[in-house]
């Protein structure tokens, strides 16, 4: 593994298909270490398929995906996660009949040191005091915002080098959306590389260092947030 790779995540000219129909075509992008890189796109643009391709859930049929110099193509998902990648899926997806703490501990299932797991729990509870107060409560009885915290905390329990965040604003009230984006900003301050996949243009560009726009399975624009917000591709992708 070449850990001196200048970008934490490198996607080069990948195409991914379902039933022989390409959903992604010739997609290339990079995520710089310790930065927030966003991928904007409307519903059906291929955003979630790209995350599935990175994780090995829907492998691309051509192209290259590297993480810190390691070629991810062909690796099973558990090996991708073991390399230091965690994903916070859209829709939160907590284990409703398990407690908050049981949900969090599942994020560290590959960690063999009990002491390390306890230390990670302390860090998550420090970041999310509400979860500490509700550690024995069933996750399914939490509010939507609290479930979002559980989902993010579970991802952090893997002590990831790269965090893939899929649609963190989905289904949340505006005040909780703002809270979630503030949390993502704080995670970046810990030195974790973040690849943020979102539809919420304004909130996403406000916290990102660099961004891409995906439309109909292709990258149609890229740049710094201030420049990207002015491009016709962003307006066409979102407002027709």
pLDDT in tens, 185-234: 888 988 899 999 988 888 899 999 999 999 999 999 999 998 888 887 77
pLDDT in tens, 34-71: 999 999 988 888 999 999 999 999 999 999 999 999 99
CATH number of the domain at 35, please. 3.40.50.300
Q: Which long-range contacts (CB under 8 A, 24 or more apart) does 232-235 make?
A: 234/40, 234/201
Residues 138, 101: Cα–Cα separation, whole Å: 9
Q: Which residue has the higher pLDDT, 123 or 176?
A: 123
pLDDT in tens, 137-153: 999 999 888 888 898 89
pTM of the model: 0.87
Out of 122, 142, 159, a domain closes at: 159
Out of 159, 176, 193, a domain closes at: 159
> Which residues, including other chains, have CB under 8 Å from residue 100's CB and lie 6 or more apart?
131, 134, 135, 136, 137, 139, 142, 150
Residues 121, 19: Cα–Cα separation, whole Å: 42
| Co-location of 155 and 183 in the same domain | no
Q: How many CB atoms are located within 10 Å of the residue 182 CB? A: 12
Residue 93 belongs to a domain: no
| Co-location of 36 and 123 in the same domain | no
* Residue 3 pLDDT level (bands cut at 50, 70, 90): very low
Which range of residues forms the domain containing residue 149?
Answer: 99-159
Q: What is the pLDDT of residue 88?
A: 87
* Residue 2 pLDDT level (bands cut at 50, 70, 90): very low
pLDDT in tens, 89-107: 876 688 999 999 999 999 8
Residues 226, 234: Cα–Cα separation, whole Å: 12
| Co-location of 65 and 110 in the same domain | no
Q: What is the pLDDT of residue 239?
A: 53
Chain mean pLDDT for the chain: 88
| Co-location of 173 and 227 in the same domain | yes
Residue 91 belongs to a domain: no
Integer distance in angstroms from the first to the last C-alpha of the chain? 43
Q: What is the pLDDT of residue 238?
A: 62
Residue 89 belongs to a domain: no
Q: How many CB atoms are located within 10 Å of the residue 93 CB? A: 12
CA 177 to chain centroid, in Å, comes to 15
* Residue 73 pLDDT level (bands cut at 50, 70, 90): confident
Query: Looking at the 3D structure of the chain, how many domains does it have?
Result: 2
Residues 46, 28: Cα–Cα separation, whole Å: 13
Residue 94 belongs to a domain: no
Out of 159, 182, 201, a domain closes at: 159
- The answer to whether residues 5 and 177 touch, using CB atoms and an 8 Å cutoff, is no
| Co-location of 154 and 172 in the same domain | no
Residues 125, 131: Cα–Cα separation, whole Å: 6
> Which residues, including other chains, have CB under 8 Å from residue 8's CB and lie 6 or more apart?
31, 32, 33, 34, 67, 68, 161, 162, 193
Q: Which SS3 state, helix, strand or coil, does residue 94 take?
A: coil
């Amino acid at each position: 593994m070449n850990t001196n790779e200048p970008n934490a995540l490198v996607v080069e000219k990948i195409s991914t298909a379902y039933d022989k129909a390409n959903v992604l075509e010739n997609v290339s992008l990079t995520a710089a270490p310790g930065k927030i890189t966003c991928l904007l796109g409307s519903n059906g643009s291929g955003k979630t398929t790209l995350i599935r391709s990175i994780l090995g859930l829907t492998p691309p049929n051509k192209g290259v995906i590297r993480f810190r110099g390691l070629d991810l193509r062909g690796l099973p998902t558990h090996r991708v996660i073991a390399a230091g990648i965690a994903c916070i899926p859209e829709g939160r997806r907590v284990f409703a009949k398990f407690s908050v703490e049981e949900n969090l501990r599942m994020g560290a299932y590959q960690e063999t040191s009990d002491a390390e797991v306890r230390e990670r729990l302390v860090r998550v509870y420090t970041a999310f005091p509400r979860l500490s107060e509700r550690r024995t409560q069933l996750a399914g009885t939490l509010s939507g915002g609290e479930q979002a915290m559980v989902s993010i905390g579970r991802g952090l329990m893997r002590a990831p080098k790269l965090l893939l965040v899929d649609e963190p604003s989905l289904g949340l009230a505006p005040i909780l959306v703002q809270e979630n984006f503030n949390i993502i900003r704080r995670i970046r301050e810990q030195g974790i590389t973040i690849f943020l996949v979102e539809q919420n243009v304004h909130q996403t560009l406000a916290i990102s260092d660099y961004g891409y726009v995906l439309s109909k399975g292709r990258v149609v624009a890229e740049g710094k947030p201030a420049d990207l917000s002015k491009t016709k591709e962003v307006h066409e992708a979102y407002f027709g």
